[in-house]
Amino acid sequence: MDNMLNVALPKGRLGEKVYAMFERAGFECPAIHENNRKLIFENPEKQVRYFWVKPSDVAIYVERGAADVGVAGKDILLEYSPDVYELLDLDTGKCRMAVAAPRDFRDNPQRTLRVATKFVNITKRYYAGLGRDIDIIKLNGSIELAPILGLSDVIVDIVETGTTLRENNLEVFEEVVPISARLISNKSSFRFKNELIERVAQSIAEQIAEVSK
Ligand code: PRP
């Protein structure tokens, strides 16, 4: 194990915002702004190395120890239950998991509900909690199409601004769970690199408290 803090950042706008938090915590790596195709950046002086990772893959890197810490959406943590520590709610990347349906949808509780989603486990748990029988249709994207084409009755998906739903004549039918970005840590890194990880977590917690004042 090296003595660097290996950080998996979610590629995209959220990742940029999260990097700024690490930077303010004293883990700057100016080279990160210079090249937008490179995937690894390090600053040995600050003992930090960053990887740009597909957002839905961050938890895998952290669970397996390829990264010590990372930032993942609560949706991914709930769906895949990776064996990691969840250290902080970053109070950003906020959206909600919701059931959505065509505007004229009326539920008939006597019938098995056909639900299209990427989030099979979250969906099963949610409807099991309601005691409702469902038929899950697992899709990988463009979930909004399913009820429009009659492939499903409803969808379970992430809603941020609501624009995607609106543009496709769908609306939120029920809320499932609020989502935000979380700082996660590999379990053994948390023991062996505790000082580095606590330092970054502490500073980011202070930054968040400062903003929400
Ligand atoms: C999510 C989700 C919706 C959209 C909702 O997709 O699946 O399609 O965002 O956002 P809105 O309420 O602001 O319109 P995302 O952009 O994460 O990409 P994905 O389809 O690859 O999951």
Query: What DSSP string runs through 59-123?
Result: HHHHHTTSSSEEEEEHHHHHHH--S-EEEEE-S-S-EEEEEEEETT----TTSPEEEEES-HHHH
For residues 106-121, average pLDDT: 96
Report which of residues 41 and 2 the model is more confident about: 41
Could you tell me if the CB of 159 is within 6 A of ligand 1? yes
| Residue 1 confidence (pLDDT) above 80 | no
| Residue 62 confidence (pLDDT) above 80 | yes
User: What pTM was estimated for this model as a whole?
Assistant: 0.94
Say what the pLDDT of residue 90 is.
Answer: 97
Gap between the Cα atoms of 52 and 54, Å rounded: 7
| Probe target for ligand 1 pocket from 95, 139, 159, with the most ligand atoms within 8 Å of CB | 159
Reported as a single tens digit per residue, the pLDDT across 14-56 is: 999 999 999 999 999 999 988 778 999 999 999 999 999 999 9
Residue nearest to atom 6 of ligand 1 (CA): 158
Atom of ligand 1 nearest to the CA of 158: 2
For residues 127-134, average pLDDT: 97
Reported as a single tens digit per residue, the pLDDT across 145-176 is: 999 999 999 999 999 999 999 999 999 999 99
For residues 79-89, average pLDDT: 98
Length of the chain: 213
Gap between the Cα atoms of 171 and 103, Å rounded: 6
Could you tell me if the CB of 170 is within 6 A of ligand 1? no
Give residue 211's pLDDT band: very low, low, confident or very high (50, 70, 90): confident
Give residue 2's pLDDT band: very low, low, confident or very high (50, 70, 90): confident
Q: What percent of the chain has pLDDT over 90?
A: 94
